[in-house]
Amino acid sequence: MSGVQTLTVDPGESEIRLDRWFKRHFPELAHGRLEKLLRTGQVRVDGKRATAGQRVETGQVIRVPPLGTAPAEPSPPRAVPARDAAMIRALVLYQDEHMLVLNKPAGLAVQGGTGTPRHLDGMLEALQFDAAERPRLVHRLDRDTSGVFVVARTAAAARFLGDAFRDKTVRKVYWALVAGQPKPRRGKIDSPIAKRATAKGERVVEDEEDGQRAVTWYATIENAGKQASWLALMPVTGRTHQLRVHCGSVLSTPIVGDRKYGGSAAFIPDLDEDTPLQLHARSIRVPKPGGGFVEVTAPLPDHMREAWAFFGFGEDDGDPFVEIDS
C-alpha cells in the first residue's frame, strides 16, 4: 500500500479500541509498528494524535500512513455453531429488508474482546437469511442488559440507522428495578458523566467539569413500600453506563444487581444475592429508511419476571413519557 489513506469509522465499530480497529482493517500490521506510527504522529484521528487504547466513534476519520504492504485478504466468515445459530434466530422480534430487532439476553456481549470469545457480533452470519450482505451492528447494549437491539441488514441501512442513533431520533424506554424510592417520583436527570480510573478500576462517574452531558427522563411506575421501585427510564443521550450511574449516583436508588455501581446497596433482602442486573431495554421506536417508524417491545427476561412476581408488579404500564419530546 503506497499512499496515505483516510478511512471513516463505521457505526458497528463505535467504541472499540483504536488498536483493535487496525487489527480488523490491517491484520498484517504488527502492534509494535502501530505503536511507533502512533508515537511519531503518522496515525491520526480527526487530525489529532492518538493512542492505541483510545476508543473510536462513528464518523471519525482515521489517517493511515503508507504501510509498505497490501492488507491481507479478509478471512472467510467463521461458521456459526448450530446451537448459537438457533439461539440467535430465536431472538428475532422484528424483520424487514432494512433491519432486524432482537431481544438480546442478559449476559451476552454485543462485541468481542479479551476473554469474550462468544458474542452477538460473532453470530451475525446466522441472521443473514436471504440477504446479500452480512448484518451490521449500529448501536450498543451492555452485556448484562437485556432487551431490544437493532441490527442493520445492509451497508446503506447501517449508515441510516447509525445516523438515527447519533441524531437521537431513536426513542428507547428501559425498565429497571431499583433499591429504594426515588424522590421526586419522576423527573429529568441532566448530569454529565465521564470514565475515570478509580481504586476499584475504571468507572463512569458524575463529572460536572469535564464530563459529557447525559440526560435521562425517569418515572416511577410502582413501588414496594420503601424497599424497591419499578422505574421506566428514557435516555436522551446514550453514554456508556448512563442509566446505571444516574440511578445509583444521582437518584441514590441503584439498580438491583448492579455490583459495579451499587455495591451492597444494590441488593434487597429476600431476593437472591446473585440476581443479575435488573435492567431491560423494554421498547424502541426506530425511523425506517423508506419513511415511518418501527416500534418493537421486548418481554421481560425470566430473572426480571421473577422479581416482578415477587413484588406483585404487573407488566402493562402504558407509556409514562408519551407527552415528552425527547
Taking residues 176-201, what's their average pLDDT? 92
Query: Range(s) for CATH 3.30.2350.10 in the chain?
Result: 82-166, 171-311
Taking residues 195-223, what's their average pLDDT? 90
Instruction: For the chain, give the mean pLDDT.
Output: 89
The predicted structure's pLDDT at residue 1:
44
Measured distance CA(221)–CA(319) in Å, rounded? 10
The predicted structure's pLDDT at residue 97:
94
The phi and psi torsions of 62 (rounded to 5 degrees) equal -110, 125
The residue type of 171 is R
End-to-end CA distance of the chain: 46
The predicted structure's pLDDT at residue 326:
45
The phi and psi torsions of 151 (rounded to 5 degrees) equal -130, 130
Contact 12, 138 (CB under 8 A): yes
209 Cβ contact partners less than 8 Å away, ≥ 6 residues apart:
none
Lowest-confidence segment of 72-76, 215-219, 284-288 by average pLDDT? 72-76
Measured distance CA(250)–CA(191) in Å, rounded? 8
State the residue for C-alpha cell 487530525: 47
Measured distance CA(302)–CA(294) in Å, rounded? 25
The phi and psi torsions of 265 (rounded to 5 degrees) equal -70, -10
Specify whether 142 is catalytic. Answer: yes
**Whole-Å CA distances, 274 to 215, 247, 253, 259, 278:** 30, 20, 18, 10, 11
Contact 193, 206 (CB under 8 A): yes
Fold of 5-64: 3.10.290
State the residue for C-alpha cell 455495591: 263
pLDDT interval class at 309 (50, 70, 90) = very high
pLDDT interval class at 76 (50, 70, 90) = low
Q: Looking at 19, 84, 121, 142, which residue is catalytic?
A: 142
Most confident of 66-70, 195-199, 243-247: 243-247
Query: Range(s) for CATH 3.10.290.10 in the chain?
Result: 5-64
State pLDDT tens for residues 91-101. 999 999 999 99
The predicted structure's pLDDT at residue 135:
93
Percent helix / strand / coil, the chain, rounded to 5: 25, 30, 45
Counting residues of the chain whose pLDDT is more than 90, the rounded percentage is 62
Fold of 171-311: Pseudouridine synthase (3.30.2350)
The predicted structure's pLDDT at residue 38:
94
Q: Is the pTM of the predicted complex or chain greater than 0.85? A: no
State the residue for C-alpha cell 408488579: 313
Residue 13 has pLDDT above 90, yes or no: no
**Whole-Å CA distances, 84 to 88, 148, 165:** 6, 18, 28
Q: CA dihedral defined by 7, 11, 17, 18, rounded to 10 degrees?
A: 10
Most confident of 131-135, 196-200, 229-233: 229-233
What interhelical angle do 31-39 and 18-25 show, nearest 10? 120
Fold of 82-166: Pseudouridine synthase (3.30.2350)
